[in-house]
Amino acid sequence: MRPFTLHEPTSAAEASALLLERGEAARLYAGGTELLLAMKGGFLPCDHLVNVKTIPGMDAVALDGGALVIGAAATHTAIESAPIVRERFPLVAQVERRVANARVRNVGTLAGNLCFAEPHSDPAALLLLYDAEAVVEGASGERRISIADLQIAPYETALEPGEVMTAVRISPLPGGARAAYLKFGIHHRPTIGVGAMLRVAEGVVVEARLSLGSVPPVARRLPEAEALLLGERAEHLNAESSAVAEVADAAAAQADAVDDLHGSTEYKRHLVGVFVRRAIAQAAA
Amino acid sequence: MSARAFSTVGQAVPRVDAEEKTSGRAKYTTDLALPGMAYAKLALSPLPHARIVSIDASRARALPGVYAVLTAAELTGMETHYGSDRKDRPIVAMGKVRFEGEPIAAVAAVDLAKAEEAVELIEAEYEELPPVIGLEAALAGESEPVQETNVCHRYEVAWGDAAGAMAACDHVFEDTFTFPMVYHYAMEPHAVIADYQADRLSVWSSAQHPFLVRAELARVFRKRLDQVRVVVPYVGGGYGSKSYTKIEPLAAALSRLAGRPVRLALSVEEAMKTVRRHATRATIRTGVQADGTFVARECRVELDTGAYTDNGVRVTERAADRLPGPYRFEHLRSEAVGLFTNTTPAGSFRSIGGPQGAWACESHTDNIAHALGIDPLELRLKNLVRPGEELLRGRRRLEADLAAPLAEVARGFGWHDYEPVSTAPHLKRGVGMACAVANAGASPISGAFVRLHADGSATVHVGTTEIGQGSRSALAQIAAEELRLPLSSVRVIASDTDAVPYDRSTGASRSTTLAGLAVHDAAADARAQMEDAAARYFETFAEQVALAEGSASFEGESISYGALIGQVFGGAGGEIVGRSAITPDHPSGKLAEDPVFWEVSMGFAEVEVDTETGRVRVLRYTSVADPGKAINPAQVEGQDEGAAMQGVGHTLFEEMRYEEGQLMNPNLIDYRVPTFGDLPDEFHTVLLERGDGPGPYGAKGVGEGGIVAVAPAVANALFNATGARIRDLPLTPERVWRALRETNDA
Ligand SMILES: Cc1cc2nc3c(=O)[nH]c(=O)nc-3n(C[C@H](O)[C@H](O)[C@H](O)COP(=O)(O)OP(=O)(O)OC[C@H]3O[C@@H](n4cnc5c(N)ncnc54)[C@H](O)[C@@H]3O)c2cc1C
């Protein structure tokens, strides 16, 4: 790996200024679990690393008016072990506990995961079940990007040059909502991740969200499949039900699967059906 | 001598290197540094097959901090090629590149970053050639061959008239199975420090076979054996990847050019592009009588040996030897052909040709059992070779018993009354087994000497490489036992060709058997000298004195070893030296035949498959290892479990994937090795100890056996669970899902 200069800013504004000053030669650096691999492999030549971890307060995990605010320097381990996450956002804690391996979780961050936009990401799919936003800061101040608009293509985000993600804000699920997230694969990164959120009123599904990660180039919702769930009785939504099978088929049809080392498009489409079915059944149970 | 109770042999004593390794004090090659040492980095070919038009290293050479850049042009006044059986491997590519990742040049610089920077400045121009990828392309030979031809080696073992005998059999069955290219993943990739001087070449290397490396270096650099020194510090795993000579000549040539010591340490990606296991395609045809008696077998295996011969000749031969399996045949023909392709060279890997052969043979055996409606255990018991019979005609007879332990372990596993438990409709369970034996031990050539010092402590000089298998512990136990010393008084020193006697190699499961015998005999020699000294001291006969716990005694009087050695040398220090040299003519008569011993493998698996995703989990695994006599039972179990878990890798996950000659998964994120999460819920190792090995106390080797039976045992269990027969490894979820879909459609 070629030598680089490490910068340790003390504010997001300073980090942003450093990035703008150095242009392509500079990169933000959090846990480095993606960045250093890419640099060692010669895919991301850069001469300046700007450390987000030295910015005071960046590693905070806190509640703000009911919303969970996860600082950009918070590691997966810090997130999953934080009592407020475990108590108020148990599904987030559960998924974060199963991201990667202990070594990656101990230094890797949620922000780094989302900003790298590697297609095989659990949080990218999970957060689509929530109303969630990325808080970013750049030369022209702070703005918020809906999580659904953050990643635009593999390894590409909606962040402008010089923008730093400072936090992820996750609103609680609406009342009456139940959610589940399932992942599958034999590789380190997931082959597929499927999330399901059902809001049930008087036994009937009044709102549904289905999210799919790792299979398409960018994690996405599955609106056609979601629509089929509306009006269904939650108690009928088990793994054997024909209604769920229809939803699963619709999801598979929308999967936008890509061929890679994890498997063929045909197999992945099949898996989408299986895991959408299982995730709905688990959320409804 | 009447039966004497062992004091340390047979005990699961802690490893002698446990504390050094767990505290981080143990020194591996990359922990060492020599004054003035340069750091090396390789320039690798990006193309799988091409003629080299030109290499321009002038910009790299001009970079401040660069000491030397080695290309083929600098290989003058020395041999340019090396290789264990054939000298076909250039030290750096000459004229042509034959696989993606082949070194075309190497830089020595003041530090690694500088060396990496210089590598980027090397410009090579190529004329691309169509790559030969896969067995079909190698056999077809429609484009320029990899070497002079695409055929590396042909070999056959045969007796009777297999083709003719088929006609008279009630049934003939045929199957074809493939096995993927896999990578060893030693935790420590290859590492070398070379210090070339005009009259002396010193090399510290992670080598398994230091004496073969020494011979190769002496030949390449035209030196006498005494001028070359190869030292092997601790090694972070080998599994065959560090057998024979790998990057040592390159590091030494670079040191010669740079005029200073050079350290070359590979990355995982570079190690994957250094050596791998042979991919194979094997076809087996078996003539069987209606009652299940095997009569004739014809089998053929094609091996993908990659770009250079490496150990391809021997692997090709062992593959044909091992493919027919542990069964009796009146008529047999087993042929193998090793083929060159434009991929990483293939060489030794824990049981060469063994897992590939057992995968085909043992899957085929279950297919026959199924077709004939015979229990797979009964079919095996009927046809297994018995102790004292020849497995391969003209070779050493099988010393081991296979049938009795197979039947017994099957009972313990619950084979006969197995009922699959169902926890959910999409989860299915089943059981399977596999059995194999392999001709192991390589050549019986090992030496040792044991120095008994003036204070009664001892140093053992022996050429075995401690590659994590625990040789230093087992050899120390043997020495302590024979010297009648406490284990704590014995030290086994690291391999250093200047300081230890010749040992052929650390591989083929041979060390405890052969280096162990060398240590045993050398220690016994030293003990005999002590008995003589004691007899003189007590003025009696040697037979009358008793040695124990570092003292000699006679009629209630005793003297410590230290005091006794003082007597021998008149109180002026000194030491007793015991010697041995193991050859095929060993007085025990047990080493005269080939192979040195037969290594046994048996595995029983219970698996669960998710029929919707195709994911297979191993729930229970029982492995049988036959050490003859376990010098250290905990270490035998460790070897067996480790080997079996490594087998889980090629069974379920591992495969080096090439596309158009480019390795697509050259890292441990995309190339999946087993982790703790893949451990079966239950794992048992059953040790067979009949004392029937040729090694000390009846020991024989076990380091490789555990890997062999895993894939067929698991695939047979999957077949038992679902009726799907899979003929290609690894059993990835997608492959299993496809097989289940075909089975259900059929
Ligand atoms: C072996 C392995 C297994 C994995 N398995 C999984 C898995 O199962 N599921 C899963 O979801 N993920 C998985 N991952 C991905 C893992 O979650 C990420 O590697 C990790 O979260 C990245 O965080 P980091 O802090 O190390 O990022 P870094 O490597 O430091 O940065 C990654 C990228 O984000 C940019 N960046 C970092 N911080 C900011 C910021 N504040 N604002 C803007 N840009 C920023 C960097 O410039 C860089 O481009 C795995 C990774 C590895 C290496």
Neighbouring-strand partners of residue A165: A136
Question: At a CB cut-off of 8 Å and minimum separation 6, what does B423 contact?
Answer: none
Q: Strand, helix or coil at B176?
A: strand
Q: Strand, helix or coil at B605?
A: strand
Q: Residue B246 domain-assigned? A: yes
Question: How many angstroms separate the CA atoms of B644 and B709, rounded?
Answer: 8
Judge: B615–A184 Cβ closer than 8 Å, yes or no.
yes
Last residue of a domain, one of B252, B272, B292: B272
The answer to whether the pTM exceeds 0.90 is: yes
Model pLDDT, residue B1: 42
Q: Are B315 and B425 in the same domain? A: yes
Is residue A90 packed enough to be buried (19+ CB in 10 Å), middle (13-18) or exposed (0-12)? exposed
Question: At a CB cut-off of 8 Å and minimum separation 6, what does B721 contact?
Answer: B420, B428, B429, B430, B607, B608, B609
Q: Are B208 and B247 in the same domain? A: yes
Rounded to 5 degrees, φ, ψ at B240 are 100, -20
Q: Residue B710 domain-assigned? A: yes
Question: How many angstroms separate the CA atoms of B274 and B252, rounded?
Answer: 17
Neighbours of A214 (CB within 10 A): 28
Judge: B734–A1 Cβ closer than 8 Å, yes or no.
no
Question: How many angstroms separate the CA atoms of B61 and B111, rounded?
Answer: 14
Atom of ligand 1 nearest to the CA of A124: 11
Neighbours of B555 (CB within 10 A): 10
Best mutation target, A214, A267, A268, A272, to test chain B (most B CBs within 10 A) = A267
Decide if pLDDT at B572 tops 90.
no
Tally of domains in chain B: 3
Model pLDDT, residue B629: 97
What digits encode the pLDDT tens for the residues B390-408? 999 999 999 989 999 999 9
Q: Which residues of B touch A285 (CB under 8 A)?
A: none
Q: How many helices (H) and strands (E) would you count in chain A?
A: 12, 14
- Residue B704 is a catalytic residue: yes
Between the CA of residue B5 and those of A268, B508, B522, B548, B636, what are the distances in Å? 62, 30, 20, 11, 21
Q: Is the peptide bond before B730 cis (omega within 30 degrees of 0)?
A: yes
Q: Strand, helix or coil at B163?
A: helix
Residue B573 domain boundaries: 443-582
Question: How many angstroms separate the CA atoms of B439 and B324, rounded?
Answer: 12
What digits encode the pLDDT tens for the residues B70-95? 999 999 999 999 999 999 999 999 99
B58 touches chain A (CB under 8 A): no
Question: How many angstroms separate the CA atoms of B191 and B189, rounded?
Answer: 6
**Ligand 1 atom 46: residue of nearest CA:** A28
Q: Residue B280: which H helix or E strand, with range? A: strand B279-288
Q: Are A68 and A82 in contact (CB under 8 A)?
A: no
Q: Are B418 and B691 in contact (CB under 8 A)?
A: no
Q: Residue B369 domain-assigned? A: yes
Q: Are B573 and B668 in the same domain? A: no
Q: Which of B470, B390, B506 is nearest to B636 (CA)?
A: B470
Q: Which of B523, B449, B532, B525 is nearest to B483 (CA)?
A: B523
- Cα angle A76-A77-A83, degrees, rounded to a multiple of 5: 110
Query: How far is C-alpha B13 from the geometric centre of its chain's CA atoms?
Result: 24
Q: Residue B420 domain-assigned? A: yes
Q: Are B278 and B353 in contact (CB under 8 A)?
A: yes
What digits encode the pLDDT tens for the residues B540-556? 999 999 999 999 999 99
Q: Which residues of A touch B612 (CB under 8 A)?
A: 274
Model pLDDT, residue B2: 45
Strands B658-659 and B458-462: unpaired
- Please give the order of strands across the beta sheet that includes B151-159: B151-159, B331-340, B294-306, B279-288, B171-179
Best mutation target, A259, A261, A272, to test chain B (most B CBs within 10 A) = A261
CATH number of the structural domain spanning residue B219: 3.90.1170.50
Q: Measure CA of the first residue to CA of the last residue in chain B; give whole Å.
A: 67
Q: Are B599 and B566 in the same domain? A: no
Strands B331-340 and B294-306: parallel
Decide if pLDDT at B710 tops 70.
yes
Q: Residue B304 domain-assigned? A: yes
**Ramachandran assignment for B443, one of left (phi > 0), alpha (psi -120 to 50 degrees), beta (any other):** beta
For residues B687-707, give the mean pLDDT: 96
Q: Are B726 and B735 in contact (CB under 8 A)?
A: yes
Question: How many angstroms separate the CA atoms of A199 and A179, rounded?
Answer: 9
Q: Are B263 and B346 in the same domain? A: no
Question: How many angstroms separate the CA atoms of B93 and A26, rounded?
Answer: 37
Q: Strand, helix or coil at B318?
A: helix
Question: Do you know the residue count of chain B?
Answer: 746
Atom of ligand 1 nearest to the CA of A100: 5
B335 token code pair: 């042929």
- CA B589, B591, B596, B597: dihedral to nearest 10 degrees? 20
Best mutation target, A4, A104, A186, to test chain B (most B CBs within 10 A) = A186
Question: At a CB cut-off of 8 Å and minimum separation 6, what does B540 contact?
Answer: B554
Question: How many angstroms separate the CA atoms of B516 and B401, rounded?
Answer: 23
For residues B589-615, give the mean pLDDT: 97
- State which residues of chain A have pLDDT below 50: none
Q: Which amino acid is at A168?
A: V
Q: What percent of chain A is helix, strand and coil (3-state, nearest 5)?
A: 35, 30, 35
Question: How many angstroms separate the CA atoms of B81 and B78, rounded?
Answer: 9
Question: How many angstroms separate the CA atoms of B415 and B432, rounded?
Answer: 9
Is residue B151 packed enough to be buried (19+ CB in 10 Å), middle (13-18) or exposed (0-12)? middle
Q: Are B428 and B460 in the same domain? A: no
Q: Are B311 and B430 in the same domain? A: yes
Question: How many angstroms separate the CA atoms of A147 and A219, rounded?
Answer: 10
Residue with tokens 């990007």: A145
Beta strands in A120-268 (DSSP E): 132-138, 141-146, 151-153, 156-157, 164-170, 177-184, 192-201, 204-213, 220-221
Residue with tokens 């006599």: B629
Q: Are B300 and B419 in the same domain? A: yes
Model pLDDT, residue B571: 78
> Which stretches of B180-335 are DSSP H helices?
210-220, 248-258, 268-272, 312-322
Last residue of a domain, one of B522, B549, B582: B582
For residues B627-649, give the mean pLDDT: 97
Ligand 1 centroid vs A34 CA: distance in angstroms?
Answer: 5
Task: Calculate Rg over the CA atoms of chain A.
Answer: 19
Q: Strand, helix or coil at B208?
A: coil
Ligand 1 centroid vs A152 CA: distance in angstroms?
Answer: 16
Q: Which amino acid is at B382?
A: K
A144 token code pair: 């918020």
Question: How many angstroms separate the CA atoms of B689 and B205, rounded?
Answer: 35
Question: How many angstroms separate the CA atoms of A156 and A115, rounded?
Answer: 8
Sign of the four-CA dihedral B350, B351, B353, B356: negative
User: Mind telling me how many Å the CA of B161 is from chain A's nearest CA?
Assistant: 45
Model pLDDT, residue B3: 65
Judge: A261–B117 Cβ closer than 8 Å, yes or no.
no
Q: Are B406 and B449 in the same domain? A: no
Question: How many angstroms separate the CA atoms of B648 and B730, rounded?
Answer: 9
Q: Residue B36 domain-assigned? A: yes
Rounded to 5 degrees, φ, ψ at A14 are -65, -40
Supply the DSSP symbol for B628.
S
Beta carbon of A104 within 6 Å of any ligand 1 atom: yes
Counting one residue from A and one from B, how many pairs have CB atoms under 8 Å apart?
40
Ligand 1 centroid vs B73 CA: distance in angstroms?
Answer: 44
For residues B486-498, give the mean pLDDT: 95
Question: How many angstroms separate the CA atoms of A150 and A138, rounded?
Answer: 15
What digits encode the pLDDT tens for the residues B716-737? 999 999 999 999 999 999 999 9
Q: Are B414 and B458 in the same domain? A: no
Q: Residue B646 domain-assigned? A: yes
For residues B357-374, give the mean pLDDT: 98
Supply the DSSP symbol for B386.
P
Full set of structural domains in chain A with CATH:
5-51 (3.30.43.10), 61-170 (3.30.465.10), 177-284 (3.30.390.50)
Which residue of B lies nearest to A38 if distances are taken between CA atoms? B667
- What ipTM does this complex have? 0.96
Question: How many angstroms separate the CA atoms of B584 and B443, rounded?
Answer: 8
Q: Residue B164 domain-assigned? A: no
Between the CA of residue B643 and those of A160, B97, B184, B634, what are the distances in Å? 51, 34, 11, 14
Ligand 1 centroid vs A110 CA: distance in angstroms?
Answer: 7
Beta strands in B89-233 (DSSP E): 89-90, 96-97, 103-109, 123-128, 151-159, 171-179, 191-197, 200-205, 228-232
Q: Are B380 and B456 in the same domain? A: no
Last residue of a domain, one of B520, B548, B582: B582
CATH number of the structural domain spanning residue B608: 3.30.365.10
Q: Are B306 and B434 in the same domain? A: yes
